[in-house]
Every structure is written in structure tokens, then in C-alpha cells.
Structure 1
């Protein structure tokens, strides 16, 4: 059989190969092209260390916190390693770790790609942040305004506006309003029924999101409450026999369900607000159901403990009670919780994976 050389056929073959190669070189996700920066607001679930720079006892900038973080650094994150927002920032392609805004060592380049304004222990109720001398969400908004002025001074108004309007925003707070405030201190309980307190909190949510949008936010992801009755500390304080009876306290989780339903309605309402003919995108991120699924199916995720923290006895230790003298489990990846309130890095990663579709939708044109 005689083979015939054809320049035309060879050119076509080379063209096809080049096209295929160009597709293979495309990034796995174009999310980075749709998000200029990441800005975080909320509580300890998203605070990478802002509390290190304020006079409060709600801190985690000491061992054993951070033992699985790069170089084993206790950054102020209330976990053994990274948090969900770190995984999110990496996924979007912005940065590996979201730094705390109050860190004075941050460069302009670092600031430009986003920061967290969150403060461990805070909430939407102003009383919640006042109890621990924390950064309330209102103050976090003030810091965001200050942030924009700093960036504007460095790169100009138009570039700053572009960063702000094309950034992704994550908000995670509310648990402390119920666990640390309403159900622990009688002040709000004397004034509000549970449904009325939910409405009070949601009014604060409304004010916060509206303020965020007025400052330029266009893509907002808002996390609902987790099953609060499954937090080890809540189990310990409310179980009849806390040592042996470690099941979730259904009452607290039912409060979270009711609140989340109201929250989704509020977010849908806010979604309809138009600012200067721009329609912001607000996405509810469900962490309740993924969280509960993991707790009820721990072995599926290779967890040996889902109702105790890895640090200390796992019953009540958090912040200062989880310290250098505390016992630490040999393998934190076997635990759902790092301390008696906060998830481990592995659990945070699973939470990120659970909300990833919501992130994709948020960034979709």
C-alpha cells in the first residue's frame, strides 16, 4: 500500500492538535476571572485572627491551635488548620489563606485580594459583641469602608471600585447570638420570645446586608446556622448525663431550622433590592444539612468522634481552656470538632465542599 503525503491534511492535523492543546492548558476553573477579591464578615467560623489585635479573651493565637496549619503557626483561627474560607479563596484562585484585616503587617498587594473582618464570638445582636469586647458586624462594615479608603489612596478610585464590585463576599454569623447570648444570659430572653428574637436578629441582618450593598458588594454568600444542638459544648451543658449521653440536643437544632427558614425569606427579600440599576446576587449557603449528615454518618467520612472536641476532654474546652497544657488527640482528622465549638480543618473542608455549588452559582455570570 502506497502512502500519499498531503500538506493540506498535515496542516489540518496540526491545527487540531494545537486546538486540543489550547483546551488542555485552560485552567480548571475560571472562577478567579470572576472574582477580584474575597471579603469575609462574621464570627469565629471565619475569623483568621482579628481578635489577636483587640483586647479580648476570645483568642486562639496559641498552641495547640494551628498545629496543622503550615509551619504549625497558631494564627488565631479557632481550629487546628485552615477554615472553609481559606479553601474557598484557594478554589476561587485568589489566595491560599484569607488574612485578618487588623494585621498591621499586610501589604497593599495582600489587602487588594481581600481580607476577613470577622471577629470570634461576635454576632448580629450588638449585645453579643459587647459581652466579649468584640468587633460587631456594624464595626466590621466600618472597617470595610476604611479598607476602601486605604486601597483608593494606593491605586485610585476606579480600580478600587472595580475590586469591590467584582469581589465575592461571605457572611457567617448568628450562632453566638443564640448560644452565647439568648440562651445563656437572661437579658434578651426577658424581652423577646424566641420567634421575636429571630425577627430582631433578622432586622440586624437586613441592615448589615443593605449596608454592605451600599458599599459596593454585588456577590454575597450568606451561611445559615449549623445544627446548634450538636455542638459538643451545647451537648455538655444541656444533656441529662453529658459524659455518656452525647446525642444532639434537638431543641437547639430546631431553633436553627426555624431561623434558617426565616433567613432564607429575608435573603430573598433583599435579593429584590436594586441599587443604581444593579441587581446584587445573594446566595443562601446551607451548612445545617451537610453538618448534620456528617454527624449522623461519621464513619462515612472516617470520623471516630463527632460529639467531642479533639482538644482536652472535648466537653467544654475552647479558646483559653484549650491551651498548651491541654491533651490533644493524636489525629485531628478523626474528629469532627477541634474544640468544643469549632470544627477541625477536615470538617471545614467538607463544609466548603458542601457550599461549593452555591459558590459556583454566585460567581456565574
Structure 2
């Protein structure tokens, strides 16, 4: 593990110890929106093929049970909840049989294959961000009934709202959809996504959210599936796809700065996951990993969701040696490092 990773690990532990010593989390609640990187099981019971509620998903999670997380264990957002001092993870909203008090510390609205671009979610029958917002509105009404309007407003304004989106828009739609890539350049498509992002933030703000963290796109061209599909057998990160991510991330930063100036008392922080994940991929051994080209599940080259299943031959024995669990998603070990970086980057959200 490199020096920077060690620093972030020490830093996150210090924060966690401080929060535990005071006997309460650093913020009242954590609300999560977005895609499969942070989906905690909202896709389990909807009609989509984008699911992860079966083995070997979840094999290293509590009780070795697949919960719908696209990972062998904890997501970066789960570690974030721990780092903030929560003793449980924001539950998948759609799956909650009894909501009420279960929502007091926040909840998770994310859906695998959702994106800023509404048609991406519709393509895979996932829950689009517009519906995630409607679910949040319903959640707020329930909170008001349980805690009273004043307390509910205080929880919402003090809570961290975490958003992870955009990856599916490119990898699961734009790059494979001639109706998009023949009409728009990647640069033009990113502008469409950022208009949707800006609208989403403004709606979230209008609903009372004041502390918002949004993750950048990862180095999409380094995901095993992207190299397999678009790398022309090079076995190297696909530079043009990484450049699309870098370009999007620059625009995400400038758009977020504009929103911050435009909306009073908004604390909007862009959380970079591009650089930390790129470091893990380009120098895996420096961070304690053995393999960064292939994922743990199956051949590790293309499997995700239903292709990564109990019968996937060759699934690795020890996922801690792999940067990726399936061909799109990081392993729990990688998520831990990413979460520690997110905590340091998002310090202003909790100060």
C-alpha cells in the first residue's frame, strides 16, 4: 500500500474514532442516488436483468449473503457510512417493507444501469434518477410523519447526499448505441449528461438538500469490460474512453462550481474517483493487489450481473488480490481504498 493510501487510511480511522467517541455519526443521515456502483439492492425485485442478488455476489459480505450489491462485499458507499460513524448502511429504499424509523439515518435510492440520461435507465428497465427523486420525496413525507416536520427538515439539510452516475450512460448506452454515437460526439453527449446533472442538483436543492457529494467518472477505459470490448486486444486501458471521462470530469467540476455560486448555502463537492482508481489499475502491486486487468468473477474479462453467477468457472479464490470484482465493478478491497480517498476529498461536507 502506497504512502498516500496509508495517509487516507489513518485519516479515515481518526475520523471514525472521533465520531464513535462522541457516540453519534458526524452527520444525521446519508442519502444515496445513482447507479450500480452504489446500488444496495434496489434492483432486486424490479423487472431488469441488471441484478446482483445471487452468488457469488456478496460472498464476502456479512453472513456471505448476496444483497444486490455489485461486489463481493462492501461498496465504497458502505465504507463511507462507516467512516461517518454509522453502525448500519443506508438500506435499499425499494426493498424496505417497513419504512418509518428505518429512514431516520438515511436510505439508498440507487439503481444499477441508471444514469443522468433518462433513456439509459429505460433501456435496462432500471430506476431512473427522476424516479429516485420521487422516491426521495416520498421518503421525506414519511420522515415528517415519524420525526415531525421540523426534525425532518433538520435531518435533510444536515444529511450528506451522495451521487454516483454517468458511467452507465457511456459504457452501457453511448458506446454501443448507434442512435447515439452516430448522432453525437462524446463531447456533445457529455453536455447532454451535464444538463441533466445540473437539473438533478437543482431539484435536490429545492427539496432541502444542502450537503451534496458527486463522484466523477472513473477511468472507464481501464474497466476490464471496456478493454475487452473496445481495446482491440491491446490489454491496455482504452485511451480515448479515458479521455472522454477526463473531459466529462472537467465539465462536471465547472458545472458544479456554477451551481455552488447560483444556489445559496449549497455545499456541493466533486469527489474524484478517477485518479485513485487509475492508480490502483496502473500500479496494483503498490497497493497490495495482484491483478488489475482481469476481474475476479469467471474469466474476469466481460462478466457482470447475470454473467457473473454461481456457475462462473474460474472465479478467483481471494478477491482481495483483485482490483475488480466483476468486469465493471471494484472489489471490496479496492472500494475500501476509494472510500478513504472520498472521505479526505469530502471533508468539507462534514465540517
More displaced 10-residue stretch of structure 1: 83-92 or 108-117: 108-117
The equivalences for 1:94-105 within 5 A come to: 94-105=86-97
8 Å CA contact retained: 1:46, 1:84: yes
Show structure 2 runs of 5+ residues with no match.
1-16
1:341 equivalent in alignment to 2:328: yes
1:360 equivalent in alignment to 2:347: yes
Name the CA shift for 1:135/1:26 in 2 (closer, same or farther; >3 Å): closer
Alpha-carbon separation, structure 2, partners of 1:160 and 1:70: 30
- Provide, for residues 174-221 of structure 1, a one-character-per-residue CA deviation record: whole Å limited to 9, x for no partner: 011111111111122233222211111100000000000000111001
1:163 equivalent in alignment to 2:152: no
Q: Which residue does the alignment assign to 1:18?
A: none
**1:363 Cα offset (Å):** 1.0
Instruction: Report the secondary structure of 1:47's partner residue.
Output: coil
Q: How many residues align?
A: 334
8 Å CA contact retained: 1:272, 1:279: no
- Provide, for residues 133-174 of structure 1, a one-character-per-residue CA deviation record: whole Å limited to 9, x for no partner: 111111111110010111212222111111111100100000
Q: Which residue does the alignment assign to 2:184?
A: 192
Normalising by structure 1, we get a TM-score of: 0.88
Alpha-carbon separation, structure 2, partners of 1:26 and 1:147: 30
Alpha-carbon separation, structure 1, partners of 2:190 and 2:170: 9
Q: Which residue does the alignment assign to 2:268?
A: 282
1:246 equivalent in alignment to 2:219: no
- Provide, for residues 233-291 of structure 1, a one-character-per-residue CA deviation record: whole Å limited to 9, x for no partner: 010012222xxx421111100100000001100000000123xxx41100010110111
1:117 equivalent in alignment to 2:103: no
8 Å CA contact retained: 1:36, 1:94: no
Instruction: Report the secondary structure of 1:220's partner residue.
Output: strand
**What's the C-alpha RMSD, in Å, of the aligned pairs?**
1.6
Instruction: Report the secondary structure of 2:126's partner residue.
Output: coil
1:201 is aligned, of 193, 205, 211, to 193
1:147 equivalent in alignment to 2:134: no
1:58 equivalent in alignment to 2:50: yes
8 Å CA contact retained: 1:50, 1:100: yes
Q: Which residue does the alignment assign to 2:310?
A: 324
- Provide, for residues 310-365 of structure 1, a one-character-per-residue CA deviation record: whole Å limited to 9, x for no partner: 0000011110111111132010000000011100001111100111112222111x
Alpha-carbon separation, structure 1, partners of 2:160 and 2:262: 18
Instruction: Report the secondary structure of 1:340's partner residue.
Output: coil
Alpha-carbon separation, structure 2, partners of 1:30 and 1:280: 26
Alpha-carbon separation, structure 2, partners of 1:231 and 1:225: 12
More displaced 10-residue stretch of structure 1: 74-83 or 143-152: 143-152
Normalising by structure 2, we get a TM-score of: 0.92
Alpha-carbon separation, structure 1, partners of 2:101 and 2:256: 32
Alpha-carbon separation, structure 2, partners of 1:33 and 1:172: 22
- Provide, for residues 18-42 of structure 1, a one-character-per-residue CA deviation record: whole Å limited to 9, x for no partner: xxxxxxx965676955411000000
Alpha-carbon separation, structure 2, partners of 1:27 and 1:186: 50
Instruction: Report the secondary structure of 1:89's partner residue.
Output: helix
Alpha-carbon separation, structure 2, partners of 1:27 and 1:355: 17
1:43 is aligned, of 19, 32, 35, to 35
8 Å CA contact retained: 1:31, 1:92: no
- Provide, for residues 108-138 of structure 1, a one-character-per-residue CA deviation record: whole Å limited to 9, x for no partner: 3321101110000110101100100111111
Show structure 1 runs of 5+ residues with no match.
1-24
1:261 equivalent in alignment to 2:250: yes
8 Å CA contact retained: 1:84, 1:351: yes
